[in-house]
A and B are shown apart, each in its own frame.
Chain A
Amino acid sequence: GQQLNQSPQSMFIQEGEDVSMNCTSSSIFNTWLWYKQDPGEGPVLLIALYKAGELTSNGRLTAQFGITRKDSFLNISASIPSDVGIYFCAGSSNDYKLSFGAGTTVTVRA
């Protein structure tokens, strides 16, 4: 089962806003991953983090591997309509088995 606490569960964004979400774990992880899932598709990897304290960017996305190795956050800057979807954090304490958060659903505010 899932060991990760991901928040917020959902959020509404206005185009141009910055978005932030995070994940915490009761266990120490060696790897943190952030995925995005569009409707009718499988999760797609956004960012991978491998070292405590690591800060990594991918375009408008920035993610950090927490110093305690029990948390991670994802920021989206200057959001655009195609940023809507479900974002999942995932952590691994070994090289191959992942635990997933429940997801953060991002919706555009009308």
Chain B
Amino acid sequence: DAGVIQSPRHEVTEMGQEVTLRCKPISGHDYLFWYRQTMMRGLELLIYFNNNVPIDDSGMPEDRFSAKMPNASFSTLKIQPSEPRDSAVYFCASSLKSGGIQYFGAGTRLSVL
């Protein structure tokens, strides 16, 4: 398996622009997670899905952030409008129904100027 695939790997945008991050989970995994990593706050869970349904979005910082999972093999995290404080590395992870082990993608490094 190719693992969790994220795109793009790097994104540089200007404040106010819409940003869309993409994720393809490992085939057969029922859970998908979006994380944000910063030096100050470490790894923060933003939202997770089970069988394509959002279960807990309490970590989403504000309404500018939204996430969708239209099918079992694809998810997006969208920021609109983006702000400089959104600059971070965003990770997607997926896991099987049980076991707790999450497998991470390589991340998207977002810079909002």
Chain A residues with CB under 8 Å of chain B are 1-2, 30-31, 33, 35, 40-45, 48, 88, 90, 92, 94-98, 100-103
- Say whether, besides A96-B50, A97-B56, A44 and B104 are in contact (CB < 8 Å): yes
Give the contacting residue for A96; candidates B44, B91, B100, B109; CB below 8 A.
Answer: B100
The count of A-to-B residue pairs whose CB atoms sit within 8 angstroms is 56
In the complex formed, the residue of A with least CB distance to B59 is A1
21 A-B pairs in the complex with CB atoms less than 8 angstroms apart:
A1-B44, A2-B43, A31-B99, A40-B106, A40-B107, A40-B109, A41-B107, A42-B91, A43-B104, A48-B99, A48-B100, A88-B43, A95-B99, A96-B48, A96-B50, A96-B95, A96-B98, A98-B45, A100-B42, A100-B43, A102-B42
Instruction: Provide the residues of chain A in CB contact with B42, threshold 8 Å.
Output: 2, 100-103
Chain B residues with CB under 8 Å of chain A are 4, 31, 42-45, 48, 50, 56, 91, 93, 95, 97-107, 109
